[in-house]
Structures are given as structure tokens and as C-alpha cells.
Amino acid sequence: MDAPRTLRNCQLLVDGQWLNGDAEIPVLNKYTQAACASYQMPTQAQVNAAVATARAAFQGQTLTPYDRGLILDRSAAILQRRTEDLIQALIEEVGFTRSDAQGEISRCIQTFRLSAEEARNLTGEMVPIAGAPAQAGRLGFTLRVPLGVVCAITPFNAPLNTVAHKVAPGLAAGNAVVLKPSAHTPTAAVIMAEALVEAGLPSGLMSVLHGGAEVAQWLLDNQDIQFYAFTGSTEVGRQIQQRAGLRRTQMELGSIAFTILAEDADLDRALPKVINAAYRKAGQVCTSVQLLLVHRSIQRQVEERLAATVGSLRFGDPAHKDTIVGPVISEGAAERIDAWIQEAVSRGARQLAGGRRQGAVVPPTLLADLSPDMRLSCQEVFGPVMSIEPFDTLDGAIARVNATPFGLATGLFTNRIDQALDAARRLQVGGVHINETSSSRVDVMPYGGSKASGFGREGPHYAIREMSEERMVTVVA
């Protein structure tokens, strides 16, 4: 008989030391609902100590841009070495399939490497000040300087790569970072912090504080934090923005993501991408295809092909090698998603694929004939549910996307370059992906939304500029 497995205790990282907090809180396996780890809940004094040591470490640091790049590159190599530890944590704590976990890890490593390169290349620019009247002999240039203490508040649905997109650029810019990961999924963030410590990051430049809303409030109350990077709901983002006041923020918030299939779309190319974008990570991605806008002339063909494929997707235990769709983050979330589906069906929507929830697992679901006032039409479902909606003209499809309060990303499949570029100019979203889905993201690109989907941009090159500022320098010869 195998010995019982020791559950990981995710401690707090404060001033280079791993500490216990005021209480130990269990973390559940999202499929079995059994405890798979625990995290330490900090006291308010520990939160304030973490920020104070971060500020002191920032003020006293001597790392050069080369040093920062080297530490981030070393960290990437350590994370690569710890792939199996991370896969296990992501399967248990998030409900990822092995494929989703591997994708999350490889992207995190790429984000660290991109940030390392940006750290080495970070610079200001020359300002042609001598071109102004009476400025002969005077030079002008800018420096890029860090802000100080950056606070990263991160979500459960990408507990490694979304964390990397805040932590790695924050450090690359020369800041100290205080991280509050999701209480649902703490282990991946702890492994990332362990990698940074092992790679030689000086004490205090990285802190980890677990917990929920109360800990976030303590962090927002601390005036020694200069910048907040947040990914989460629009409602919480609005509260953080109000509390931050004049301090800077970057907000990646909610969305209802659309992908458009024009009448000339190559369905053999488009539909596999649409299915992956709708159901990977159990649909818990801000850019997951929630509404598929399909030209009426191809609607029947799209419905038939998607219904057959979605209905055959294996769902259930994420540890099984053939599973495509695992559980959502909690049974409560699954209950909400199931209720939205049943509401739509009871009011006339056609269910082309899917079934009733099983614990925290929602079968991959495909619907059609939604009405505009159904919640699946006008609120973010954040689950493995996609609905097909017909349109007659591209103008109508664009108007449908723009009518929502959100604007994160939209995909458009078409072979007409004029139609594609027109849509790119008119869609009120942060990213338009031609012949890709709304969920198409490469970590080097600028990523962020408009309207109620937030502001500021992730992507190491762009995030580092969010987390630093220009300082003007002039010299009279």
C-alpha cells in the first residue's frame, strides 16, 4: 500500500523568508473536492511587513539591467526543470487537463524569457531639444525608471502565466513585487517565487501573500504601493480603481468574447480553432469564444459540424490523458453555469450538445437561438458554453460586438482583406484577430481591453513601460 501523500503547505514569502501566517486554509482538488494543499493566511501586520520590506529592498537594490535579465533567465530554466511539479498542481488546483497545464507552463517560461530580454533592452530616447528656439548646445534624453513597489493581484484561471505577465515585467523594470495569487490556486505562484529565490533574486524584491478580499483590501490601503496590476472581474476592478486613487493601475477585466465567421470563412480551418478556443481550460478564459456569430448562409452547416464535434469531446477527470474539458473552479461556479444553460433552454434556446453538470464538471455545451436578454447573451459565462448567433451583414455583426459594455478581443474568419481591415478599424476591442479566434494570444503581443474590459497592456515589452516611467534629463554643454 502506498504511503499517504504529504499535502503542500503554501507559506508566505516575506523578506526572503517562508513563514506561517495566522491560519492554515485548505485548497481543494477541483475534481474530487478533497484537500490537495493548503495556504497560510497572513495577518495585517505581515501584509504591511511585506510591503515595507519590498520598499526597503527596492530603495537599496543594486541590480543592473543585465542582472535582472540573468535572474529571469535562470528562473525560466528552473521552472522548466519543475514542469512535473507544476503540472500536478495545475491539474489538482485548477482542474486543467495535462495539455492545458503544459501549455500554461510553456507560455510562462516564454514570458520570463521575453521579460529577461526586455530588462536588458530597457532604455529611454533622445529628445531633439536643440531644435527648439534658443536651445543650442543643449542635449535632452529620457531615462526609464522603475516606480517602486508593484502589487500583483491575480486570478485562478491562469495561475502561472498571468502571474508571470505581472511578476516578470515588474522585476524586469526594476521594481519590487508583492504578489497576491488566487486563494483557489496558490501552489503555482509559490513555485514561481521559489524559482526566483533560487535564481538569486535579492530578499524583499519578491513577496507572496495568500488570501482573499480582506488581504487585497489591506494591500490597497497601503500607500507604499505605487502600482496595482489586476486581472479579474470588472466589478472588482472598479473597486480597486476607486481605492487606488491617483496611484497607477493596469486592469484586465471581464469580457464577452465573440468570433465571427463570414460567409466565405474556411470552415475546415476555422472550426477546430473555434472549438479549442471555446472549451480549453473549461472555457474559463476571458477571451474564450462565448458567442459565435455565423453568417446566415452557413449557419446550418456550422451547427451540424460543431454539434457533432462538441458532443464527442471527452469531459471529466482532468488527470485522464484523453480528457479535453475538466471541472470549473468550484461546484458553486458549475451550479451557476448550469442554471444559465437551463434558463436559456427553458426559454426556447436549442441545445445542440451538452448535458447536466456532474459535481464541478459542466459538459461542453453548444446552444443556438438565444434571445438578447438571456444571461448567456449579455453576461460573461466563464465556462464551457458556446452559443451560435446568425447575422446577415458584417455591419450587423460588428454592431453586435460593439453593443456590449466589454471590449477585450474578437476573432474574424474571412478571405476578404478589405472586409478584414474594415472590421479591425471599427471593432471596439483591444485585439482583432483575422482568421484566428478571439482567444488567439501570443505572449509577445500587447494584450488588454477597452471599455469595461479594462485598460493598460500586458506583454513584457508593453507591461514594463506600464510599470516604469520616463524621466526627462537635459544637459547644457
Give DSSP secondary structure letters for 5-72.
PPPEEE-EEETTEEE--SEEEEEE-TTT-SEEEEEEEPPHHHHHHHHHHHHHHHHH----HHHHHHHH
Cell numbers at residue 109, please? 517560461
**pLDDT per residue over 252-279, tens digit each?**
999 999 999 999 999 999 999 999 999 9
CA distance 410 to 317: 31
Catalytic residue among 286, 380, 389, 436: 286
Question: Which strand (E) or helix (H) includes residue 178?
Answer: strand 176-180
pLDDT of residue 477: 79
pLDDT of residue 3: 53
Could you report the per-residue pLDDT of 169-205, keeping only the tens digit for each? 999 999 999 999 999 999 999 999 999 999 999 999 9
The residues pairing with 144 across neighbouring beta strands, listed in sequence order, are 470
Any catalytic annotation for residue 286? yes
Q: Which class in CATH covers the domain with range 257-442?
A: alpha beta
Q: Which of 92, 93, 252, 458 is catalytic?
A: 252
Q: Cα torsion for 14, 194, 175, 141, to the nearest 10°?
A: 160
For 315-332, how does the pLDDT look when each residue is reduced to its tens digit (9 = 90+)? 999 999 999 999 999 999
pLDDT value at residue 4: 59
Distance of alpha carbon 371 from alpha carbon 61, whole angstroms: 57
CA distances from 211 to 96, 208, 331, 370, 428 (A): 22, 10, 20, 38, 35
Residue found under cell 531644435: 131
Q: What one-letter code names the amino acid at 170?
A: G
Cβ–Cβ under 8 Å, residues 61 and 71: no
Specify the pLDDT at position 6.
77
Euclidean distance between CA atoms 298 and 279, whole angstroms: 22
Place of cell 459565462: 381
Euclidean distance between CA atoms 85 and 92, whole angstroms:
11
- Report, as an integer, the average pLDDT of 37-55: 98
- C-alpha distances in Å from residue 126, one per residue of 65, 138, 211, 470: 19, 12, 45, 12
- Answer yes or no: are the C-beta atoms of 434 and 460 closer than 8 Å: no
The answer to whether the CB of 222 falls within 8 A of the CB of 47 is: yes
The whole-model pTM stands at 0.96
For the chain, the C-alpha Rg in angstroms (whole number) is 23
Residue 46 and residue 31: Cα distance in Å, rounded?
Answer: 33
Which residue in 257, 293, 268, 262 sits closest to 422, CA to CA? Answer: 262
pLDDT score, position 453: 97
User: Do residues 65 and 120 touch, judged by C-beta distance below 8 A?
Assistant: yes
252 is catalytic: yes
Please determine whether the domains at 8-253+455-476 and 257-442 fall in the same fold group of CATH.
no
List the grid coordinates of 241. Answer: 480603481
Q: Which pLDDT does position 464 carry in this prediction?
A: 98
Rounded Cα–Cα distance for residues 192 and 201 (Å): 12
- Antiparallel, parallel or unpaired: β 12-14 and 17-19: antiparallel
- The per-residue pLDDT of the chain, averaged, comes to 97
**Element at 291 (helix H, strand E):** strand 289-295
pLDDT digits (tens, 9 = 90+) for 352-381: 999 999 999 999 999 999 999 999 999 999
Alpha helices in 321-442, H assignment, sequence order: 331-346, 375-378, 394-402, 417-426
d(C-alpha 412, C-alpha 416), whole Å: 11
Give the per-residue pLDDT at 178.
98
Query: What average pLDDT score do residues 453-457 get?
Result: 97
At 344, the amino acid letter reads A
SS3 content of the chain, % helix, strand, coil (to 5): 40, 25, 35
Report d(CA 381, CA 139) in Å as an integer.
Answer: 55
State which amino acid sits at residue 128: P
Helix (H) or strand (E) holding 234: helix 234-244
- Report, as an integer, the average pLDDT of 81-108: 98
**In the chain, domain spans:** 8-253+455-476, 257-442
Comparing C-alpha atoms, which of 335, 364, 336, 371 is closest to residue 350? 371
Spatial distance between the Cα atoms of 207 and 403, rounded to a whole number of angstroms: 41
pLDDT at residue 383, as a whole number: 98
Could you tell me the fold of the domain covering 8-253+455-476?
Answer: Aldehyde Dehydrogenase; Chain A, domain 1 (3.40.605)
The pLDDT score that the predictor gives to residue 424 is 98
